[in-house]
Every structure is written in C-alpha cells, then in structure tokens.
Amino acid sequence: MKPANHRSDALVNGALIALGGLAVVDNVVVHWLLGLHRAVPEPDASLPVEIGLVVLGAALLALGLRRERRARRG
C-alpha cells in the first residue's frame, strides 16, 4: 500500500518538473532565440540573470524528475 502523502508528493514533483521546464524553455526560446523581451530591463545585467534562471530551471526540473523516478520505484 502506498503512503498517504503519495498524492501530495506527486503534486510537488509535477510542479517542480513544470516550473523547471517552463523556466528553461521560456528563457532559451523566448528570451534568447526569439528576443521578444528580457528578464531585466538593463542590457548589461540581463544575460547573467537569464543564465541564472536557466540554471535554476534546470535544477528544479532535475530535482522533480529525480523525485518522481524514486517515487515510482517504490
């Protein structure tokens, strides 16, 4: 039998995966490839902030996938 908090774990894992994936795709596609807008209005500060957001998004995505993989193994 699965623990009582299985649903909340699945919700957290899904949120981590979704937020991490969104952060990576948004920054790479919208900010860099399409150049629609920047994360920070100042051009000199924008690139380091966007790189940080991509790294943070990748970390959230990896954490969510790792947690979900462990949860499915039992």
**Do the domain assignments include residue 3?**
no
Q: What is the pLDDT of residues 23-39, one digit of tens each?
A: 999 999 998 899 888 88
**Low-confidence stretches of the chain (pLDDT beneath 50):** 1
**Do the domain assignments include residue 20?**
yes
Please name the residue that has the structure tokens 């940080």.
52
Check if the beta carbon of residue 54 is closer than 8 Å to that of residue 28. Answer: yes
**Do the domain assignments include residue 63?**
yes
Residue 49: partners with Cβ closer than 8 Å, 6 or more residues away: 39, 40
Q: What is the C-alpha separation between 68 and 70, in angstroms, rounded?
A: 5
**Do the domain assignments include residue 1?**
no
**Do the domain assignments include residue 18?**
yes
Give pLDDT, residue 3. Answer: 57
Residues in the chain: 74
Question: How many domains does the chain divide into?
Answer: 1
**Do the domain assignments include residue 45?**
yes
**Do the domain assignments include residue 2?**
no
For residue 52, give its domain range: 9-73
**Comparing C-alpha atoms, which of 54, 58, 56 is closest to residue 28?**
54
Q: What is the C-alpha separation between 65 and 57, in angstroms, rounded?
A: 12
